Amino acid sequence: MLFQNPVNDTMPKTFNKISVVGLGYVGLPLSLQFAKSGVSVLGLDLDSSKVSSINNGKSYLKHFPSEVIAEQVKAERFEATSDPSRVSETDAILICVPTPLNEYREPDLSYVLDTAEVLAPHLPKGILIALESTTYPGTTENELRIVLEEGSSMHAGVDFHLAYSPEREDPGRENESVKTIPKVVGGYTKKCGDLAVILYSKAIDQIHRVSSCRVAEATKLLENIFRSVNIALVNELKVVYDAMGIDVHEVISAAATKPFGFMAFRPGPGLGGHCIPIDPFYLTWKAREFDKNTRFIELAGEINTGMPDYVISKVTDTLNEEGKALKGSRVLILGLAYKANIDDCRESPSFVLMEKLQAKGTFVEYNDPFVPVIPDTREHPHLTGKKSAEINDSYDLILVATDHEEYKDFDFSHYACPIVDTRNCLTNRPANYSRA
């Protein structure tokens, strides 16, 4: 229920200084866009290496040049810290921390709620807190609000303001994606929403106001469920059409010539990234509270999750045709990032392919020009530190998992080893080439 009390009007309408909590693939570009727009930004992250990099004008994300960061740091519009008490200096806090799933495929809000607990004692009256992390409807006005109120001894909508605005970051876009992608904003109260619109309007071209935090949270889930379901559809058709001897990519390209009623999605080896493989399960979990089933969403998840097994079956068949067994073969996976031309390998299906092949006795290496060394990950810590290998013809099979530009133009035409391409992306193909 929304508070009916008049809100505190001490909130500055200019938002001269804000704090962005979490300086990863969402928080860093958001910080830079606000800084470019003339807002002073205090970045907060527990990772001291990120804090040090920013304050020294260095980038740790490959698609953000160091010069972009250095320019804002030099202009004194962007600095980073690990000290949560410094949010008391700011007019607004934007929370951009991970919302993964736990081992039971249930929402893990610990990053959001732990962040709120740490920040709460330092909140000045009138501050605006906006959550950007993807989550299920009700998180902002229930779980987040309660932690902030208990830790600050203040009331949302009265002493501080609360909003939800889902991130829409698309790593690898060449234009200014943060600035040009419309921002959905919902407030805990009308005043909260008004202030959130004022804040985001300072850095983003178009704001779409919705009636509540819950609507904004549901909007983000719909966007990602839409992609998940449609990717599952073409992944299923890939398997069916392959059995019929039909090239699904040719079919999709032909269907895409229709100027209405069709949107092209492409199949792949599975889903990757922090959003698409995870977010649908947030709604599935929350729907159970209302005694509702999400069979369509769960079926899509099953199909997409099963794609690595389909790929491995194609790899096995290809090696069999060469008179080789999967066990003992040497396989090079091309691409660890979950999508082309970025260094983001969160939830990448390449990890699943690597582990499933290794479990069958295959010797596996990977190559990725954007990920020279595997970083520490929550799901695959045992692979941390593994280095990218050179592309050559010494392997029993090469498996293309990510459609980096470097691979598209690479000359594989003289390679004797078979290549299985899950992205239909290679131009200079060898004689022994197949898709999966």
Distance (Å, whole) CA 210 – CA 26: 22
pLDDT band at 209 (very low <50, low <70, confident <90, very high): very high
Mean pLDDT across the chain: 93
CATH number of 17-211: 3.40.50.720
Lowest mean pLDDT across 45-59, 70-84, 170-184, 336-350: 170-184
Q: Does domain 221-303 have CATH number 1.10.1040.10?
A: yes
Helix (H) or strand (E) holding 185: strand 183-187
17-211 and 307-435: identical CATH topology: yes
- 192 classed as catalytic: no
pLDDT the model gives residue 113: 98
pLDDT digits (tens, 9 = 90+) for 128-151: 999 999 999 999 999 999 999 999
pLDDT the model gives residue 4: 33
Dihedral sign for Cα 318, 323, 327, 329, please: negative
pLDDT the model gives residue 1: 32
What's the alpha-carbon Rg for the chain, to the nearest Å?
23
Q: Which runs of consecutive H residues, i.e. helices, occur in 187-212?
A: 190-201
pLDDT digits (tens, 9 = 90+) for 261-290: 999 999 999 887 666 667 788 888 899 999
Average pLDDT over residues 164-185: 84
pLDDT the model gives residue 61: 86
Beta bridge partners of 42: 19, 79
Token duo for residue 96: 């951009």
pLDDT the model gives residue 42: 98
3-state secondary structure of 271: coil
pLDDT band at 429 (very low <50, low <70, confident <90, very high): very high
Chain-centroid distance of CA 66 in Å reads 21
Chain-centroid distance of CA 52 in Å reads 24
Is residue 185 over pLDDT 70?
yes
Is residue 74 over pLDDT 50?
yes
Give me the amino acid identity at 76.
E
pLDDT the model gives residue 347: 86
Distance (Å, whole) CA 134 – CA 224: 10
Q: Does domain 307-435 have CATH number 3.40.50.720?
A: yes
- Residue of 96, 213, 275, 425 marked catalytic: 275
Dihedral sign for Cα 27, 30, 35, 41, please: negative
Helix (H) or strand (E) holding 208: strand 207-209
Lowest mean pLDDT across 57-66, 84-93, 307-316, 365-374: 57-66
Average pLDDT over residues 356-376: 96
pLDDT digits (tens, 9 = 90+) for 367-383: 999 999 999 887 888 99
pLDDT the model gives residue 268: 95
- Beta-strand runs (E) in 234-349: 330-334
Give me the amino acid identity at 96.
C
Question: What is this structure's pTM?
Answer: 0.90
Is residue 208 over pLDDT 50?
yes
> What percentage of residues in the chain have a pLDDT greater than 70?
94
So where are the chain's domains? Answer: 17-211, 221-303, 307-435
Distance (Å, whole) CA 298 – CA 305: 10
